[in-house]
Structure 1
Amino acid sequence: MRISDVVRRKGDKVVTVRSDETVQRLLDLLAEHRIGALVVSDDGESVDGIVSERDVVRQLQQRGADVLTAPISSIMTAEVETCTPDVPIEQLARTMTELRIRHVPVVVDGKLRAIVSIGDIVKHRIDELQSERDQLVGYIQQ
């Protein structure tokens, strides 16, 4: 199974935010879409960075409430781990675990196409195991 299988099931919608937007705007988008991270993209296609709830919390602790008016570029991770749709699910799961990251943008020819979370990968694997179980039970009961 490949990342393209996960994207096919969950969809390819990606919410992005510009690097010059404020952290307050970031929080509004996270709450509105009920997600934990946003891809930072100034043109809507490139991956310029990624920013998560954790980034905001850490900056709040360090800088206080003034961080809410700061640009997202001041708190985002600029070096982003990305993948392509053809990457095996197990490989990306291992990479995410080793790097301790929860969200990975999916890119094709340098352009943002989707985003997968560790939760998406776990859900896909659980669904896969349930399907295998159902097939085995069906085979045994025949």
Structure 2
Amino acid sequence: MPESYRPHLRKDDEHPRTTSQSVSSNTTVSHATVQDVLDKKDGRIITIHPEQTLHDAVVLLRDNRIGALLCVDEEGKLAGILSERDIVRKLADQPGKTLPHRVEEVMTRTVETCTADEPLVVVLRLMTEGRFRHMPVVDGDALIGMITIGDVVHFRLNQLELEALQIKQLIVG
């Protein structure tokens, strides 16, 4: 017999198996990034200058129905962030005398930022551990957006709804 001869085996008659789904495809966590969330937003960045008053800030917060403002200098670079929480703290310290104060007196100067290509799960963890709800998104020194805990939750709920629909279609056929 030649060395290359191999007898016919039962497995030679089996057709290769194909699967449309696997355990890994059904359990792999989405690798969503901050950019995925930004893509769903309108792209507006609401800012305020540190020299403006808290009255200006609360008007902007109210009119835009948001919870924080990014504070930028004359060149548009991030100088801080002013949240509703910051204003409430000042109100508690100086009731009735808060609105004339300048934003720079109340804003948070050390701001945690992220980039658009960062994984959403990492940013969410930072926000949760740091106990803040708003995070500016930067590209180098340029401010390109802001994401909130609400944005992330909304994005994830949409993902879950889509996954449920896909599973339902798989079951129904």
User: Residue in 2 aligned with 1:26?
Assistant: 57
Listed one character per residue, the Cα deviations across residues 102-126 of structure 1 (whole Å, up to 9, x for unaligned) are 0000001211100000000000000
User: Residue in 2 aligned with 1:40?
Assistant: 71
Matching residue's letter, 2:63: E
Shift of 1:43: 2.9
| Match of residue 83, structure 2, among 21, 37, 52 | 52
What is the TM-score with the length of structure 2 in the denominator?
Answer: 0.80
Verify the 8 A CA contact 1:30 1:36 in the aligned structure 2: yes
Are 1:68 and 2:99 matched, yes or no?
A: yes
Q: Which portions of structure 1, spanning 4 or more consecutive aligned residues, are displaced by more than 3 angstroms?
A: none
Q: Which runs of 5+ in 2 are unaligned?
A: 1-31
Shift of 1:66: 1.7
Matching residue's letter, 1:98: E
User: Residue in 2 aligned with 1:100?
Assistant: 131
After TM superposition, the structure 1 = structure 2 runs for residues 110-121 of structure 1, keeping only pairs within 5 Å, are 110-121=141-152
What is the TM-score with the length of structure 1 in the denominator?
Answer: 0.97
Matching residue's letter, 2:167: L
| Match of residue 10, structure 1, among 33, 41, 44 | 41
Q: State percent identity of aligned pairs.
A: 37
**Larger of the two Rg values belongs to structure:** 2
Listed one character per residue, the Cα deviations across residues 8-66 of structure 1 (whole Å, up to 9, x for unaligned) are 01132110000000011101110111111000002363110000111111101102222
Q: Which runs of 5+ in 1 are unaligned?
A: none
After TM superposition, the structure 1 = structure 2 runs for residues 117-136 of structure 1, keeping only pairs within 5 Å, are 117-136=148-167
Matching residue's letter, 2:66: I
Structure ranking higher in helix proportion: 1
CA distance in 2, matches of 1:7, 1:26: 23
Shift of 1:5: 0.4
